[in-house]
Amino acid sequence: DSGVTQTPKHLITATGQRVTLRCSPRSGDLSVYWYQQSLDQGLQFLIQYYNGEERAKGNILERFSAQQFPDLHSELNLSSLELGDSALYFCASSTHPGLAGGGEQFFGPGTRLTVL
């Protein structure tokens, strides 16, 4: 158990809908990263938040957004869903914000999104 929790575990929805995925980082971790895992694209970085502020952005679609709340949990919002958005969505947390030397990222169990 990494200490990172994600809910829900599974999510089935229809095209055009909007969903919210939730992540609680390990106790004491200030950074939350979101990744998407699909068969064709592999594991891809979406976005990072550090202590409530956006720190880095990857190839995240404009239909997707995220935020980190004062209690440090994070939510990933996916809207106008398409079939191709079906994937596993992971969040990871780390202590260090990316200073020289880096910080280990610990992954949650993921949310499996199925868009029908």
Partner 1 sequence: GENVEQHPSTLSVQEGDSAVIKCTYSDSASNYFPWYKQELGKGPQLIIDIRSNVGEKKDQRIAVTLNKTAKHFSLHITETQPEDSAVYFCAASNGQGGSEKLVFGKGTKLTVNP
Interaction of residue 50 with partner 1, rule CB under 8 A: yes
The answer to whether 28 contacts partner 1 (rule: CB under 8 A) is no
**Does residue 64 belong to the site contacting partner 1 (CB under 8 A)?**
no
Q: What are phi and psi of 58, to 5 degrees?
A: -105, -145
CB atoms within 10 A of CB 101: 6
| Options 7, 16, 51, 56; binder of partner 1; rule CB under 8 A | 56
Phi, psi of 71 (to 5 degrees): -85, 5
Contact range with partner 1 by CB under 8 A, out of 17-25, 66-74, 79-87, 92-100 = 92-100
Kindly state the smallest distance separating residue 77's Cβ from partner 1, in Å. 19
Q: Which of 2, 7, 17, 51 binds partner 1 (CB under 8 A)?
A: 2
Query: Is residue 101 involved in binding partner 1 (CB under 8 A)?
Result: yes
Residues 6+ apart with CB under 8 A from 103: 31, 94, 95, 96, 97
Return left, alpha or beta for 16; rule: phi > 0 is left, psi -120 to 50 is alpha, else beta: left
Residue 70, classed as helix, strand or coil, is coil
Q: Given the rule CB under 8 A, which residues bind partner 1?
A: 2, 4, 31, 33, 35, 42-45, 48, 50, 55-56, 58, 90, 94, 96-110
